[in-house]
Structure 1
Amino acid sequence: MRADSMPNVVSFYQFVDIADPVALRDRLQSRCEQLDLLGTILVAGEGVNGTLAGAGDHVQEIFDGLCTQLALQAPIDARWTEAENAPFRRMRVRLKKEIVTLGRPDILPQQCTGKHVSPEEWNALIDNPETLIIDTRNRYEIEVGTFPNAVDPGNTSFREFPQFARELAMSDKKRPLAMFCTGGIRCEKATALMLELGFTEVNQLQGGIINYLHKIDAEENRWQGECFVFDTRVAINRDLAEGGYVQCHACRRPLSGEDLESPDYREGVSCPKCIDELGTERALGLEERRRQVRLARARGGEHIGPQASGNGAP
């Protein structure tokens, strides 16, 4: 599909019991390919989580089909943005144990999760000096942008969040919590965990950062910086347009303009954040990939290798 014919980028998730994830995976893969969609959908016994790019009516057809197949009582909640170019190179529907990996498959948000706070109500919550604001995302995402006064749990992956939560549970459990992530899915599990640990006032930003940026005007917008996304756009700004970051092909971390000026940055090979982590074999492999990419470009083609972060955890 031509990049200019697919401006819609749609992130969605639904926690719902799925009796036959394999059958659903197969049906989704086939239909998405027929509709010329690109992206990633994760399927597990606990639900679905995905990001798709393509024509809006084609994406809506997938949503309508899921509502029917999963007997959903309400439409799937989705976050729509736009991209100048296709942010994915292929269509993949993958089976997983969890649709967002906390390492606690026993936590079921469809049974218990934190209170959803609308973007219109969010500012009042985080402006309250008693509120503890928690960014549930990974550190490399937080470095790109976050809300003022938000706590960084120091995660390198979402699997590490339970340790942070257990340590926090040794403090005041009556303090109101305001938790947020990119599209809302991580907070569904993170707030459920906080309730399990005994916190009494647990709130989450409905629809995540993307929904907040979509609905809150610039004058009232508290967001600082850009928002990391799990596709080739790398980040979006407060206007939901593609931001000013690129991604290191070696470590997948987002890179600012300053990072690109570093002598440790070598396109496709290394950056200031990973230069000390690369072994000789890994560096040689990346050099070879860089050579293949340049050859493909010289021939007027494209080298299809690992794409930007994929659909990790919006």
Structure 2
Amino acid sequence: MDYLVLLYYCYTPLENPEQFREEHHRLCLHLNLLGRIIVAPEGLNGTVSGRRADCAEYMRLVKADPRFAALEFKIEEAAAHTFQKLHVRVKAEIVHVGLPAIKPYERTGIHLSPEQFRDLKDQPDVVVLDVRSDYEHRLGRFKNAVTLDIENFREFPEKVAELAQYKDKKILTYCTGGIKCEKASAFLLDQGFDNVYQLHGGIIKYGLEAGGEDFEGQCYVFDGRVAVDVNRVNPSVISECHHCHTPSSRMVNCANPQCNAHLPLCETCAGELAGACSPTCQQHPAKRPYDGTGTYPRLSNHYRPEQGLVSYRAPGA
């Protein structure tokens, strides 16, 4: 395959995130990368796609910055760009949870390699904790994992009280690429949990290096692929079509923008309902035309950095 997808993050202090954002955006444009990148005073977080040579140069230049010496790239192959646009934005946190005082580069859970995680996860004194949102863990999760009823990661702190029953256990946290676990495990330590661990590199790295064993279903990803297979050992499908309840991992947004629910919908039901999640939404006067994908990306205005903080679409994308 001619393209790569890079998933990465690094918690590290950045003194001037606005200036860094400007320089980093220009770098991505120069290398024809597309994706979503967040810059914050606490570090860098991104997922980008591009041609192999461009991605290789990007990784070389990022790693050459001493602030990102510890950054690790999760690398996957792709047939084409998995994004339509490029966004590089400054935010208060590189993953929004509302805990800017929690600094993972000072203290966080013990990092476990994929192999260590696999060997520990089924021990009797261990609880495997999924810190992702509902729509993610419903599509796929580790066997016997504890999941939280949250629509967004920023709800995680208020759910920690529900985990008090596990304070005498080893808690193994996991997420897609590892970034949420850095904040989640650090917050658990702050709340008095003593034995907190995290899957280093997340589900993606676990799939690449440990075959994805016992990860049931598919892994939700935040690019055009939406869902990817990670389990090459004992794969399964655990999600169901929202309408007919047959096994399906095909994620869509409801074609009714007033609903816009993000859920599994099989091709047959999506066709019959014209991309809507229900007959009611199908009849809604604001329903968007359904093109068979179930995604509705915002239009680009061909942004260049000197024009302001909006999006840029590469020529021909």
Fold shared per TM-score above 0.5: yes
* Residue 123 of structure 2 corresponds to residue 128 of structure 1: yes
Distance 1:239 1:165, change over 3 A: closer
Question: Alpha-carbon deviation of 1:85?
Answer: 3.3
Distance 1:144 1:198, change over 3 A: same
- Name the counterpart of 2:210: 216
- Name the counterpart of 1:248: 253
- Name the counterpart of 1:305: 298
Which AA in structure 2 matches 1:41? Answer: I
Query: If the length of structure 2 is used for normalisation, what is the TM-score?
Result: 0.79
- Name the counterpart of 2:171: 177
| Gap runs ≥5 in structure 2 | 233-247, 301-310, 312-317
Question: Alpha-carbon deviation of 1:86?
Answer: 2.0
Distance 1:118 1:306, change over 3 A: farther
Q: Say if 1:264 and 1:271, in contact at 8 Å, map to a contact too.
A: no
Question: Alpha-carbon deviation of 1:60?
Answer: 3.1
Query: If the length of structure 1 is used for normalisation, what is the TM-score?
Result: 0.80
- Name the counterpart of 1:21: 17
Within-5 A mapping of 1:93-108: 93-108=88-103
Aligned residues: 279
Alpha-carbon distance between aligned partners in 2 of 1:306 and 1:186, rounded to the nearest angstrom: 29
Alpha-carbon distance between aligned partners in 1 of 2:42 and 2:282, rounded to the nearest angstrom: 38
Q: Say if 2:172 and 2:196, in contact at 8 Å, map to a contact too.
A: yes
Q: Say if 1:114 and 1:188, in contact at 8 Å, map to a contact too.
A: yes
Question: Alpha-carbon deviation of 1:262?
Answer: 6.3
From 106, 109, 113, the counterpart of 1:114: 109
Query: Identity percentage over the alignment?
Result: 33
- Name the counterpart of 1:232: 224
Which AA in structure 1 matches 2:19? Answer: A
**Local SS of the residue matching 2:121:** helix
Within-5 A mapping of 1:49-88: 49-74=45-70, 76-88=71-83
From 266, 271, 281, the counterpart of 1:257: 266
Which AA in structure 1 matches 2:37? Answer: I
Alpha-carbon distance between aligned partners in 1 of 2:160 and 2:6, rounded to the nearest angstrom: 30
Distance 1:30 1:286, change over 3 A: farther
From 128, 134, 141, the counterpart of 2:136: 141
Question: Alpha-carbon deviation of 1:256?
Answer: 4.1
Alpha-carbon distance between aligned partners in 2 of 1:122 and 1:128, rounded to the nearest angstrom: 10
Alpha-carbon distance between aligned partners in 2 of 1:71 and 1:257, rounded to the nearest angstrom: 45
Question: Alpha-carbon deviation of 1:203?
Answer: 0.7
Alpha-carbon distance between aligned partners in 2 of 1:284 and 1:105, rounded to the nearest angstrom: 42
| Gap runs ≥5 in structure 1 | 295-302
Question: Alpha-carbon deviation of 1:246?
Answer: 3.5
- Name the counterpart of 2:277: 271
Question: Alpha-carbon deviation of 1:133?
Answer: 1.1
Q: Say if 1:8 and 1:80, in contact at 8 Å, map to a contact too.
A: yes
Judge which range, 51-60 or 24-33, deviates more: 51-60
Question: Alpha-carbon deviation of 1:70?
Answer: 4.8
- Name the counterpart of 1:298: none
Alpha-carbon distance between aligned partners in 1 of 2:197 and 2:60, rounded to the nearest angstrom: 29
Q: CA RMSD, aligned part only?
A: 2.8
